[in-house]
Amino acid sequence: MPIDLVIDGGKLVSPDAIVDGAIAIDGGQIVAVGTLAGLPSARQTIDAKGLHVLPGAIDVHVHFRQPGYDHKETWSSGTAAAAVGGVTTVFDMPNTNPPTATVEAVKEKLAIAGAQAIIDFGVYGLIGEHTLDKLEGMLAAGAISHKLYMGSENPLVPCPSDGAILEAFETLARLGVRCTVHAENTPVLQWRGHQLMRSGRTDAGAHIEQHTDVATVEAVSRTAIFAEWTGAKVHIAHESSRHSLPHIRFAKSRGVDLTVETCPHYLFLSTDDGARVGDNFLRVKPPVREPGHCEPLWTALLDGTIDIISTDHAPHLPEEKRRGVIWDCAPGFPGVETSMRLMLNEVARGRWQITDYVRAACAAPAKAFGLWPRKGSLEIGADADIVLVDTQRRSQITAAKLHSRGNASPFDGYETVGLPIRTLVRGKTVAVDGSPVCEGGWGKPVTRSSS
């Protein structure tokens, strides 16, 4: 009996090597890897000559906005954007409305996602003072992990007290599940925000002053200390500051089970980009900072201090991003559709290798959250989540053509070399040449096999 599919003629990329080879896929999984002659015959063959074959990217930090903010994104538009961008699994944040803070809310979000998604997904449950007794239940209901907003100005997802955080870490250490932390110091953000507003500041610089680096340095350190004390595994979201890096290195040197992500906007942008896109438009939490952070963050990504590339895909409508008073300007940008090509462009420029990209975008997130080796790898037995990449393809990012509802991107107009051109999820092609080609409902929730 022929198998479903063979992808032949491409260069297979893992974190360690690039090898010429073919991949055999049956029943949604990789069943053999080798030369075409050695593989079983297949009903369909995809010719990948001249292309690189990567595991699909796993983005552990997206905001797909449903339920509650459908005008910014839906699971349909968000997963379409992700599929086009070469992302095959996303983890969605709990700051929806209602927040994902109960067993029922987890189930509701999984149902919405399941009906619309064209790629696989996980949802985070919220760590809050009123959810401490629900953490295990939310996992049992299908949440992939939990999110802690240590830095929060949103009353729907308030920062718990340190006492509650410590208790949450004790619980999660027992459960063996890594949680993701927005590491900023809430009292610092609140105090400074209040003072800046009272003094009449409405400019973009006030946002940077509010989110002073030490707010994140302190919260990263506190997270590491609590994790070390309790044995909890933690993941630091969206690292933005070079000043955090020595503290992360110190924690890792002590053996704290800490993983760290950064995002393209911290690797490529500084406040200088305000002149191009608008100072207020650049607003994101934590902020894109003054020049001097991108290079140290790249160094940290290359030396393993930073483990993971995510996007913090946080779409808002262009008009929500272009308000004149900084406090009214919606924070964040879409990212899932543009991240891979931006990071591949740095491969073309020689800053890093495509193997490094696969480590940071595919293997490391899968390992951190217990999906490895079923996700993030091209090994036999893995889900056939695969991206065909043309590393030579030159193209331009056009924000208005992105598939997100909130398609206000600071990377509008960027020229990149390297493009995902075909994305498969469990063996099914979900996007080709910039367009989604799959009906909603193909995406499935992911589960931990280890953590």
**C-alpha to C-alpha distance for 445 and 142, rounded to whole angstroms:** 8
Whether 241 contacts 286, CB under 8 Å: yes
The verdict on 184 binding Zn ion (CB under 5 A) reads no
Per-residue contact string for residues 91-130; x = within reach of Zn ion by CB under 5 A: ----------------------------------------
Binding site for ligand DOR (CB under 6 A): 63, 95, 182, 284-285, 314, 331-332
Instruction: Identify which of residues 190 and 353 has a Cβ nearer to ligand DOR in the complex.
Output: 190
Which of Zn ion, ligand DOR, none interacts with 331 (beta carbon under 5 to 8 A by kind)?
ligand DOR
User: Which residue, 92 or 385, is less far from ligand DOR as judged by CB?
Assistant: 92
Q: Is the peptide bond before 246 cis (omega within 30 degrees of 0)?
A: no
Report what 305 binds from Zn ion, ligand DOR, none; CB cut-off 5-8 Å by kind.
none
Smallest gap from residue 236 Cβ to ligand DOR (A): 13
User: What is 9-33 written as a DSSP string?
Assistant: EEEEE-SS-EEEEEEEEETTEEEEE
Is there a catalytic annotation at residue 312? yes
CB closer to Zn ion, 307 vs 312: 312
**Pick from ligand DOR, Zn ion, none: which does 168 bind, CB < 5 to 8 A by kind?**
none
* Alpha carbon distance 284, 240 (integer Å): 10
Structure tokens given for 72:
């910014």
User: What is the rounded distance in angstroms from the CA atom of residue 55 to the CA atom of residue 258?
Assistant: 24
Distance CA 175, CA 26 (A): 34
191 CB-near residues (< 8 Å, 6+ apart): none
In the complex, least distance from residue 239 CB atom to ligand DOR, rounded to whole angstroms = 13
Q: Which of 26, 59, 92, 312 is catalytic?
A: 312
Cα-Cα-Cα-Cα dihedral of 324, 328, 332, 333, to 10°?
-50
What number of helices (H) and strands (E) belong to the chain? 15, 17
The residue among 318 and 434 lying less far from ligand DOR, judged by its C-beta, is: 318
Identify whether the C-beta of residue 73 lies closer than 8 Å to the C-beta of residue 65.
yes
Nearer Cβ to Zn ion, position 312 or 383? 312
Cβ 48 to Zn ion shortest distance, Å: 34
Site string for Zn ion, 293-332 (x = CB under 5 A): -------------------x--------------------
Name the site residues for Zn ion (rule: CB under 5 A): 312
Catalytic residues: 312
